Chain A
Amino acid sequence: MDAIRTESITKRYKELTAVDHLDLTVREGELFGLLGVNGAGKTTLIKMLSCLAEPTEGDAYLLGYSVCREKNKIKPFLGVSPQETAVAPNLTVRENLNLLMGIHGFSKEKREEKLKELTDGFGLAPVLNRKAGKLSGGWQRRASIALALITEPKILFLDEPTLGLDVLARSDLWELIRALKGKITIILTTHYMEEAEELSDRVGMMKDGKLLAVGTPAELKESVGAEKFEEAFIKIVKGGVKQ
């Protein structure tokens, strides 16, 4: 079964068409990278797929449910880690995790069990009792992804998860993302070439709201006769032609 299928999905903001009649299919368990320069429409597409923005035209089906008509059926299966820091700054990491679990109606026993699981899985023990707003960017992103995984989502959206992080913090996050591969479907937006190539099973390249090319990193390089992934991206985006 496809995890995500979009049908000519479009988003317009007055004169600007942020996503333009985009068709895309993502398989279950796949890590799909969305690559594009700033303003390509990646975040808008993620917002529509995660039910945060209404499509102007078209539709998308997540696990068979329509984002236009069946938001409430989809939401329990989604995890979202937005581009900007999405933590409550004056709450500790433990309180942030408990807050989200409480809002999702977890029992006390389930909260304790999940807290331990996420603390161990994400190595959060050193910062568990520190205010989230006082943590470094790397720790905040780590906590943010842990928050997105609280409900054991079937589809996880990671919007520019390593933006602005230093090399070590980025490497740590890559490890965490690799550990999730295959277990859930992940949509990762990035404008770092090496990140898309390193982590993704398949990559979609976007420009001006359009999906120009989709394939494995090797397929995309081969399609334009490029040796390096970055070279392939430049050729495809500058060419602006659908592959």
Chain B
Amino acid sequence: MRTAWFSVRNAKEIVRDPLNLGFGLGFPLVLLLLLSAIQANLPDSAPTMFEISALTPGIAVFGLSFFTLFSALLISKDRGSAFLSRLYTTPLRPAEFILGYTLPLLPIALAQTAICYLAALPFGLHFSPSVLLVLVATLPNAFLYIALGLLFGSLLNEKQVGGVCGALLTNLSAWFSNIWFDPKLVGGWFYQIAKALPFLHAVELERAMQTADLAAALPHLWWVLGYGVGIFGLAVFAFFKQMKQ
């Protein structure tokens, strides 16, 4: 029950912040609209740039990258405001803190992905029951980005979080993820880095799940889960360390 109370509080803190709604939901939807408009206005002879069935999972993952910012900001603000100090004097256990910061973001991530896919329908996304599998793929992807938020929120102050998670990470995640362009086209070290990072795999996981191609999805799932679990472990260590300090 303690975890539930703390989780509800964290969910309220996030959804009541208009900036979170603007960036987490509004920005990806605007991008979906603009890129679909560009695609619609290309001459028939031009190559396809933003195919909606490939673009939608990319945009959905791009939206998840803001969850790193949400969770990191929430934790760093709590640390900065002494609210965490107050909670440390309560019976909340260390594991309950971690769960309380993680769990409430998962349903919000699912809702965000669902909205993204619903918004893509008028632009020609074909709806089939397999699209629902994307929601399953959203969970490990969201876990990865939330874990990054837990890590940065435990290490950085509010101002640093804005720069690292709001600017650096969202750009890094976007460039190396095959959302806007295929890193293979750049080739060389760029493609090698993209393959070694989890962001490209997060997008490919959603694309594979969208067509119910589980065989294609599995290798990407391991990359995302591996990074997610590793980063989550580091985040728990960093959180406990700052808790002791």
Contacts and interface: CB of A to CB of B under 8 A. Distances in A.
Interface in A104-136: 104-105, 131
Interface stretch (B80-88, B113-121, B232-240): B80-88
A84 interface: yes
Contacts of A89: 13, 77, 81
A104 B89 contact: no
Contacts of B17: 90
Contacts of A147: 86
Main secondary structure of the interface of B (DSSP, over half): helix
A80 B244 CA distance: 17
Contacts of A75: 89-91
A88 B13 CA distance: 8
A51 B82 contact: no
Contacts of B92: 103
Interface in A70-117: 75-76, 78-80, 82-91, 95, 99-100, 102-105
Contacts of A50: 89
B176 to A, nearest CB: 33
Contacts of B90: 75, 100, 103-104
B86 A86 contact: yes
A103 B89 contact: no
A23 interface: no
Contacts of B12: 90-91, 95
Contact of A86 (B9, B83, B91, B244): B83
B191 to A, nearest CB: 42
Contact of A105 (B9, B83, B86, B91): B91
A217 B104 CA distance: 51
B86 A80 contact: yes
Contacts of A105: 1-2, 91
A131 B8 CA distance: 16
Interface in A125-181: 131, 147-148
Interface string B1-27: 110111011001100110000000000
A109 to B, nearest CB: 15
Contacts of A28: none
A51 B86 CA distance: 11
Contacts of A88: 9, 13, 83
Nearest to B90: A103
A52 B88 contact: yes
B85 A80 contact: yes
A54 interface: yes
A8 to B, nearest CB: 22
**7 nearest CB pairs, A to B:** A102-B5, A84-B82, A82-B82, A86-B86, A90-B16, A86-B82, A90-B13
19 contacts: A80-B85, A80-B86, A80-B89, A82-B82, A82-B85, A82-B86, A84-B80, A84-B81, A85-B82, A86-B82, A88-B9, A88-B83, A90-B16, A90-B17, A91-B9, A95-B12, A99-B5, A103-B6, A131-B16
Given A80-B86, A95-B9, A103-B5, 4 more contacts: A51-B88, A84-B81, A103-B87, A105-B2
